[in-house]
Amino acid sequence: MTSVCAEARRARPVRLRDLARLFGRLSITAFGGPAAHIALMQRELVDQRGWLTDREFLDLVGASNAIPGPTSTEVALYTGRRHGGIPGLIVAGLGFIGPAALIVGVLAWVYTRYGARPVAGDLLAGVKPVVVAVVSVAVVRLGRSAFTSRLLVGIGAAVLAAYLAGLTEPVLLLAASAVAASAGRRRRRQSGGASMAALLALPAAAAAHGSAPDLPRIFGAFLKIGALLFGSGYVLLAFLRRDLVLSHGWLTEGQLLDAIAVGQVTPGPLFTTATFVGYLLRGVPGAVVATVAIFLPAFVMTGVLEPVITKLRNTAVTAAALDGLNAAAVALMAGVTWFLARDAVVDGPTAVLAGAALLALLRWRVNPVWLMAAGAGCGLVLRTHL
């Protein structure tokens, strides 16, 4: 009966306003970073609306992990592209990015006017344990679709072990894809590598060096980051520190940490940290330019690559490579969950929060958004009384 209902939902056309409504809501309610965003999208796109199957969703996650840029934002862009073409891609992208960027922009205005450091610790102390529970449930559910053979289980285990040992995500994703393709009697594949290399070279050339953070230099710096940053959105801190603090001297260490704190405590893409930094550098024009620049490569790459993803399932070799990519992506999510848990579950109250959230998700299927809001409230109460 459930599969029949899912097929009926999938048969209905997805309108642009449906995309705008869903991703606009996620933009203002999806707390917890990229892994939590993907867990929420899996629930909304697969379980609730039936717009994608588990396999299709995993394919989009795997493809998003394999290219530079913000992974959860690229999943939104791929979904919009698949169901609404280029207009759908734009609507889904702006829906997911716009409201969150506006929130961050307002906080940047408050920060510059009143000099108040963002107070994120109390909220995060309660939200993080809930995020761990949400992501854990998503990993288990996606793992059922990803680990369909002993080979894929082995690939996932190896990727998880290597990730925990310190290897970077792009290397692991490519290695997993290559191993799976080899097992599927790999044939020589045609590659868009030359086109991709040319695409990635553009922002590197555009990133001009200089002392003054004028709008062209801000655009070039953030365009380069958006086109070259692989892996978790939290890697953004390292890129921003190297380029904006050490190379250009545009920010102090304290300002950078405040910007990252705002990105973590606000909903939506972590890359909206660029909005905060851009506002610090050149006000509203700087915020707009930095936001457009850091997300632009994701729009371009997903728009070009989305039609290719479905075709990859048509041959045994590329389908096997995609299966390996999916297994690696789920393994990486498991690794991220481990690091999140190590940071979030630090005492008895946070352990109780994580356990209660896990129980609520598994037994009563409570909406994760409400759990995160409850977790934030618990964090404030706990910090007040401790």
Summarised one tens digit per residue, pLDDT across range 278-316 is 999 999 999 999 999 999 999 999 998 888 877 777 778
Summarised one tens digit per residue, pLDDT across range 337-363 is 888 788 788 899 999 999 999 999 888
CA distance 250 to 350: 37
Summarised one tens digit per residue, pLDDT across range 191-240 is 444 433 433 343 444 444 445 688 999 999 999 888 877 655 556 766 78
Cβ proximity of 30 and 268 under 8 Å: yes
CA distance 242 to 76: 29
Average pLDDT over residues 36-41: 90
Rg of the chain (C-alpha set): 20
pTM score, whole prediction: 0.76
CA distance 259 to 237: 9
pLDDT of residue 87: 96
pLDDT of residue 115: 64
DSSP string, 135-182: HHHHHHHHHHHH--SHHHHHHHHHHHHHHHHT--HHHHHHHHHHHHHH
Q: Which tokens sit at 170?
A: 């792009």
Average pLDDT over residues 165-173: 79
pLDDT of residue 121: 63
Average pLDDT over residues 89-100: 96
125 or 129, higher pLDDT: 129
Which of 23-27, 136-140, 162-166, 257-261 bottoms out in mean pLDDT, i.e. has the lowest?
Answer: 257-261
Average pLDDT over residues 161-176: 83
